[in-house]
Structure 1
Amino acid sequence: MNFNINALIGDESRFSLEHRILNIALLFSSAICFLSGFVNHFIDLNVSISIFSGIALAYMYYLSIIKQQYVIPLFLGLPIFLFVLNPVIWVNVAGTQGSYPYFIILFSSGIAILLSGPRRVIFTCYLIIVTIALVIFEYNHPYLIMGFSADIYRYIDISVGLTVVIIANTLLFALVFNSYNKEHKKAREYLTQIEKQSIKIEFQESLKVINEQLKQEIAERKQAEKLLRESEKRYRNLVENINDVIFTLDTRGIITYVSTAIEKVFLYKADEVTGKPFDSFIHPDDLTLALNRLERILAGEVLPSEYRVLDKNGDVRFVRTSSRPLFAENQLVGLTGVLMDITGRKQMEDELREHRDHLEEIVDERTTELKTANEQLQQEIAERKQAEAQLKYLATHDYLTGIPNRYSFEESLKNTVAKAKRGKEGSLLFIDIDNFKLVNDTKGHTAGDHLLIDVAKIIKESIRKSDTLARLGGDEFGVLLEEATVDEARLVAEKLRKKVEDKEFCFTNYVCFNLSICIGIVMIDGSLNSQKLLTLADTALYAAKEKGRNRIVLLDPNEETTTRFAAINQLVAQVNRAVKEDKFVLHLQPVVRVDNGKTLYHEALLRLQGEEGELISPRAFIPAAERFGLMPQIDRWVVGASLDIMRQHPDLCLFVNISGLSLSEESLLGYIEEMITQCGMEPSRIGFEITETAAVKDMSLARRWIERLKKIGCRFALDDFGIGFSSFSYLQMLPVDYIKIDGSFIYNLDKDPSHRALVKAMNTVAHTLGKQTIAEYVENENVLKTLQKLKVDCAQGYFLGSPKIIDQSFRSS
């Protein structure tokens, strides 16, 4: 039988330190009490019992109150049994204490049963045996217990009792220790089982945690594998479906992978090219380039490359590659890249290059054409500038004689008047050639022109450079003498008259004759404005002519008006009578189209019937009528007479001349509008002509007339174009339908290149502004053909039709 001290003092793994100390104290005190039962001489028994009882009570209080434990461990009751249930101790107590042993027996029995736990039956049997032995002992030997028995009995009883007690104790100890040993073994097995179960449970828990972690890791790994498969699938779908070829090569240039797109480029399947050197597919001419690029890429460069390859059919394809080195575990294993088929792009580039070359050829041709056109344009611009300069010159100069014209002369006259107001007086001379019409009629216009040129030359040579000479129109000239007195003016006039008179004018076929001039002189003292001076000078000239030709007349501004204008009054009176008594006559001259000869319209030309029935030219009475404000009345008569003629001739279209002085007559404009509206005929059948000079003098009035009459449907022409202004710009402001080029540019058009250039420029400008052109003074076929070449629209002149009178029966009274 194995005895374990831990069974008595408590296992270290199950009991605390103070618990073990109490067990040792109880065991020690029990041993003292047990020994004192036999040798009570060494230690006082009461002291031993008291010590033991105190320790026992303290231990029971500690377990029940402090530790809240009500079941005492199995072997902790053994010392109490050895003391309390020891018959030897009881005998000694009985011998000294009387009946106290019974109380001890009962108390001990209760404690023994309480502490025995599952061993209650064994301890009960033990108590019964010991009690029976004590009862027999005490009743048979009362005196021994009380201390009065004989020694012999005492020793006999003690021996018998001791023998019984020893046997009982021996049996009890054997049973107890055997039972305790079994219980201890069971307890150890139970503890071992519990520990195993605990370890198993802990292992199961750990295993469960590990299993959960493992499941989670497996799930995560499966998810990662799923994502990886999906990513690989997407990548493979991407690689397999893109048009570009994905490829890898090893360091030797062997193809280790190629996507299925290779079939679109090379017509090879992927497995047909895998494992083959890439240079076997390179065009021989590009092989060196491709191998060089391979070496450079394997050396670490990232290079795009373009070269040609051969497909399965041997056809050439252009490709572009973009590659980079490929590493595995920091070791160079080859390269990877993308291959794009750029054959289509190359073909397009070739086509574009051919197209570009073609375009360059076209551009070169066009550039050459443009250069030529530019040169022509520059030439035309130069010609146009020259023409404009010439037009500007002609606007201020007479085209025939080269001297200033009326416009320029009037501007100079204004300056001379301004100087006269400051004390620098001057003189104004009007000069007219006597019988000039006779020269024109007998010798022709060419002779008349030469005569005008010669007269202009004579006058220019006879005056100072500071003086001004101008052709005022027809055969009239004007001279401004700066800072000249009356006597000086007379001397200059006489000098001029004398030189012309002495001059023998000769023409072809050796025809020579002499001419004379009339001169009217007016002094410029600043008291009269330029217009009044012109009128007065014209009157002086008229007076000189009335005196018999080759005369000089000085008209003093201070003379009575009746004296000054006596001669003119007679003509003015005749004009007034003509208006009232219907003494005017209209002659019609056709305006025809140059291309087909059809008549566009007729121009109404005014004539005055003289006292004896002769026809007086407008040149004779129009200046006087203008000077005395009779033109609005004359224009009113002409419009009414023209409307009467058109009513009688429904197919006839007429154009009527309007004087520049009539433009300021608002009543006349209203009268014309009313007459046209009331007559009931188509307004486009009647048109009006105003001279360029009249329009330019008052642009706003001219524009108002044109706009108002065109608004009701009438047409307008600008007459005598080319001699009145210095620029074409004003044409944009005048919405006329026709431009009538002055006859001075037309009569020798077939012979004079400068006139052709001017007419061409005028025609171009007019057409650009949307206006038609009419050439005046067409007198021969050559001029007409020249106009056709210049693409002038219409023409008018004696060659196409002379002015003719309309029978009075066609007019209403």
Structure 2
Amino acid sequence: MAGCRPASPNTGPAVSRAGIEPMMIESESVPQPLSALADSALDPALAAAHIQTWDWELDSSRMRWSGDDGTRPAPPHYQAFLSRIHPADRQRVVDEIESVLAGDSATLHVEYRSLPETGTPRCYLLAGSLIRDRQGRVERMAGLRQDITEYHDAIARLRRSEQRHSEAEALVHMGSWELDIRTGMAAWSEEEYRLLGYTPGRVSASYQKFLDAVHPEDRAAVVLEIERALQGDVKLYRVEHRVRLDGGGERHVLQQGRVGFDADGRPARLIGTTLDITDRVLAEKALQDSHAQWDHIMDFFQDAVYVVDLDDRIVRANRAFYELTGLTPETALGRSIMEIMHPHGEPVPCPVCRARQAREDTLVTMEADHPDNPVGRPIEIMVRMIRGTDAKVGAILMALRDLTRTRETEDELRRLNAHIRVLMESAGEGIYGVNREGQCTFINNAALRMLGLEREQVIGHPIQDLIHCTGGDAQPASASESLVFSVMTSGRGERADGELLRRSDGECFPVEYSAYPTTESDRVTGAVVVFRDVTEARELNRRMDYLATHDALTGLVNRHAFEQRLRMALDSSHRHGNEHVLCYLDLDQFKVVNDTCGHVAGDELLRQLSTLLHDRIRHTDMLGRLGGDEFGVLLENCQVEEALRIAQELARTVQEFRFIWENKSFTLGVSIGVAGIDRSTRDVGSALAQADAACYMAKEAGRNRIHLYQRDDVEMVQRHGEMQWVARLQEALAEDHFCLRYQLIEPAGGGNGALHCEMLVCLCNRGAEMIPPGAFLPAAERYNLMPAIDRWVVGAVLDWLQASPGELSRLALCSINLSGTSLSDEDFHGFLIRRIRESGLPADKLCFEITETAAVTNLSAAIRLIRELKKLGCRFALDDFGSGMSSFGYLKELPVDYLKIDGAFVKDILSDPVDRAMVTAIRDIGHVMGIGTIAEFVESDAIREVLQEIGVDYVQGYGIARPRLLPAPGEPLSPA
């Protein structure tokens, strides 16, 4: 069964459903085989749950089973059991069993499909453990087997149900939607997207996007109805409105919604449907108009319309009839039509009179000089019988149309067709048409120009064989492969992006093209094709792909591409035992060039040096730029001795390099860390960490050196710098030596009574000294201790808030910092969400701060965590914003609520106009995007006044309030 997949060792749908948990069993505790359970009181329960027990004696290979699988007797031995497993699953089951026997896994947990003698395969969950004798030797394996076929069938039915629901919505043109009022997050069905005029997935569902789609004239009424529902005035609101469409048209929809309230009676969400009622509205409007139209049709119809009874007497006529004949209602009604149209009689009955007398529907055209034409202009006379419910003729409807304008219209149509031909010929896209046989019926100049053909080479010829290719070999594409013939079969227009057309010189070029069927009288007569040459667009895409994997400054591969290649090399080590070497290069004295000559000079230095370094490595190696002045070299299939030689060559190249800028000469050095990659290297992160640690040791040893990573480097690092903190921080985590301080944040214009504070972690020294975070956080980040510290901080803050209900009510927002390593830690994500939910605290009072560098470095993880927490109601701030200015490009992706302006721009704002301009720019960006701004390092009232003048929302710093020790639970926070 396609739905059967191997279950996780600890979790899985069948385990959680049936309650099966494998266990280790010793023979002392189980004197009888496990299959003896079949005769116990558990037998009915096991049978009801489709569970069998089994026992496998390893020496004899004999197997015993409780009951059977419902189709045939249980397999008597291990090989018989394996023979009944589906071939696609058999090796996986064997691998899992052998893993338990080898001691690699404590328990057996595997799903597989059976091979029944008849019928379809069934799906089973097999669980078991080893049973040992008194001496600890493995005697046998025993466990349980559960039939989980119905579970997988239920999953398949659920998926089919969801598909039918989506198709049903599309069939009735009704979409569904949901809006979380507190977070602004919205969800639309695919049909909802289409009804609002959007392509599914092209825009993010939101309340604002919904309002954008509503017709401006209807928007106020829609908002009013929603507000009434939010206020509880109505339980179910219904409002009809129009939706604007891209083409300038509009759609009428019926919007229905219901408000869901939380336990406190506050609106929590809106849920509802959108029904396309365009046809109904148009029908109602047509019906309303028809009454008025039928009231006036006779008077305002331009044709002369009149009704005669079976005696040819006029019973009704319109104004055009009276104007044509010069009569009035008084002189015409009840009078014979023969007297009016043929006052002098008719020697030979005219065609109209003959049809009327024969009670036949007809249409007669008379030119101006026809002897029976009473008006002297080209006319068309219609005769229609009016029949009752019994199909008998009760009256005759006649209409006389002046064809003068029709003839003028035909002339105009001919001129319009000529104009269309001109437009088609002037179009930039290629256009051609084919008949049912694929022969070209017309083609414009743009198409001929792109194809390099003459019109006579194409018209009347099978164009499929002439210009369509299957690939770069320029072989003709068959009709079965062509979109042109496909649309003529389906009767629906389609698009293709990867088609190739052939020029007259035989060269193929890529096109995007659309094909649409042409019809006459509901019969497909051919197709029209519109195409454009996308050679330049493809080249642009190729260039964009290049830029996505290469550093724009140096042309080297970027960090992402380098790590991808490193991952492939690591995989080859794990699979085939290949050995590689990773070098981590960090330039020495590069900052001197930047500080002395500026970033332009620094960029030029990096470009020149990148070229030199690239020339010194083997053609099979990869050089990448990993950061500002940091590079990585991956030496594949390389021994350490050879790698050290290459590293020495790279170091010598950097040392001999002389950078000249504006008559200044600079020399640099490079610290290189070398780390071998083999089967023992765990992952990419470990490889980079080892090379980085070796580079760090090279710098610690005096810079401009090469250091080979060794396992005993830990002892050396402990004697040099940050590693000294590791044991101390681990001890602090184990013995709870951390403490919290808080620093208040105020509105720039002054306090408003509500508390807004940031929680800060400190290390409590044994002598009661407070060690600030700047002293130990770098070490914690370097050695991956930040997730543990962040867990402590989150837990401590939430515990304090839970124990301080009075302060919680006063508190508007409590900010908690998260590190970059925690952002990329999926376990931390789960802990954070679970801890917030368990606390029961109002999540909208929690704000998590992440630095600009951490957000940009871990962009996908940051976006994922922010969205998950925002669903709970939490808010987010981007800390140290502007420090690199790279985050401006990511703001649209990061749904943050606050920007904390880097204090480097704030502290000198009184004297540095550039800093003031930077703060103003950040404030403007924030306000345009609806994001609040917070200025750090506000150390005086003068700085606060300038920030208030600029329009910054909030301020924080020693000039507002110094950090204070968090009081005991329940005690109040002190104001600034």
* TM-score under structure 2 length normalisation: 0.38
* TM-score under structure 1 length normalisation: 0.44
More helix by share: 1
Larger gyration radius, structure 1 or structure 2: 1
